[in-house]
Amino acid sequence: EAGVTQSPTHLIKTRGQQATLRCSPISGHTSVYWYQQALGLGLQFLLWYDEGEERNRGNFPPRFSGRQFPNYSSELNVNALELEDSALYLCASSLGLDPSSTDTQYFGPGTRLTVL
């Protein structure tokens, strides 16, 4: 069974540009999560999508946004890039919205974003 996939593997942008990162969840999973792992800061929660809707958002500015498509894949967009946005961006997926359960999140390999 294929795991979570992310593209591109590496992305180099300059300050002020926009970046688009993509994620395909494990087959059968409807929830997609995005995390940022910057050097020295650990994993920080960015966004959670399920069934095409944004369900929860971390403490990040509005220039971090995303969407989930009908096939459950997801896109993370970062506008007006700043140097401190350089990080490993990780996508995770889980089975989906169920108030009675705590879903295990399975992570992809990440996209390394470098802002020059």
What does the binding site for another protein look like in residue numbers (CB under 8 A)? 4, 31, 33, 35, 42-45, 48, 50, 55-56, 58, 88, 90, 92, 102-110, 112
Q: Which is nearer to another protein, 15 or 53 (CB)?
A: 53
Q: Which is nearer to another protein, 17 or 101 (CB)?
A: 101
Name the minimum Å distance from CB 55 to another protein.
6
Secondary structure, 3-state, the chain: CCCCEEECCEEEECCCCCEEEEEECCCCCCEEEEEEEECCCEEEEEEEEECCEEEEECCCCCCEEEEECCCCCEEEEECCCCHHHCEEEEEEEECCCCCCCCCCCEECCCEEEEEC
Nearer to another protein, 35 or 72 (CB): 35
